[in-house]
Amino acid sequence: MISFKKNTIFSREPAEKKEDEILHGGVLAVWGSPGSGKTTVAVKLAKYLADKKKNVVLVLCDMTAPMLPCICAPSELECEKSLGSILSATHVTEPLVKYNMITHKKMAYLTMIGMLKGENEYTYT
Ligand SMILES: Nc1ncnc2c1ncn2[C@@H]1O[C@H](COP(=O)(O)OP(=O)(O)OP(=O)(O)O)[C@@H](O)[C@H]1O
Ligand SMILES: [Mg+2]
């Protein structure tokens, strides 16, 4: 068994991290079998973090059945932008991604990226 010295480049990550450290930045990918509850978990996680005043980008990347219209009414959203505009661009840049983020009227810390109602992977080809 390899022994890792404490506080060196070889040390393992501390087993227990403060909640603030865990919530600071990063990407959470929700993965699983069809119909296992991925979208539900992703949306609940996003709301939980946004309620805690953490900036959250919820990426809804289902290309066949856009989930954005299922999780909030169009009247709750501040704009109509689409993940399709990002994916169809020749060069994906940070400003392009930011421009296509959809903000929620009542949740200041949440923004979403996803396909719109009626769109699919062929809409932007
Ligand atoms: N913890 C849970 N307990 C019971 N039912 C749940 C739970 N989480 C999700 N569901 C239900 O299971 C169904 C599938 O959930 P969801 O759409 O989140 O799954 P998914 O993995 O995103 O599916 P897909 O593969 O089609 O994208 C929905 O009807 C949802 O309401
Ligand atoms: Mg899903």
- Using DSSP, state whether 4 is helix, strand or coil: coil
The whole-number pLDDT of residue 1 equals 47
Task: Share the mean pLDDT of the chain.
Answer: 86
Q: What is the domain count for the chain?
A: 1
Considering the domain boundaries, does residue 28 fall inside one?
yes
The Cα 99–Cα 21 span in angstroms is: 28
Considering the domain boundaries, does residue 14 fall inside one?
no
The Cα 66–Cα 85 span in angstroms is: 14
The Cα 62–Cα 117 span in angstroms is: 12
Considering the domain boundaries, does residue 13 fall inside one?
no
Considering the domain boundaries, does residue 66 fall inside one?
yes
pLDDT tens digits, 34-84:
999 999 999 999 999 999 999 999 999 888 888 888 898 889 999 999 999
Residue 59 structural domain? 19-114
Look up residue 71 and give its two tokens.
């999780």
Considering the domain boundaries, does residue 68 fall inside one?
yes
Higher model confidence: residue 9 or residue 117? 117
The whole-number pLDDT of residue 43 equals 95
Is the CB of 63 within 6 Å of ligand 1?
Answer: no
Ligand 1 centroid distance, CA of 68 (Å): 15
Considering the domain boundaries, does residue 3 fall inside one?
no
Is the CB of 35 within 6 Å of ligand 1?
Answer: yes
Cβ pair 76, 108 in contact under 8 A: no
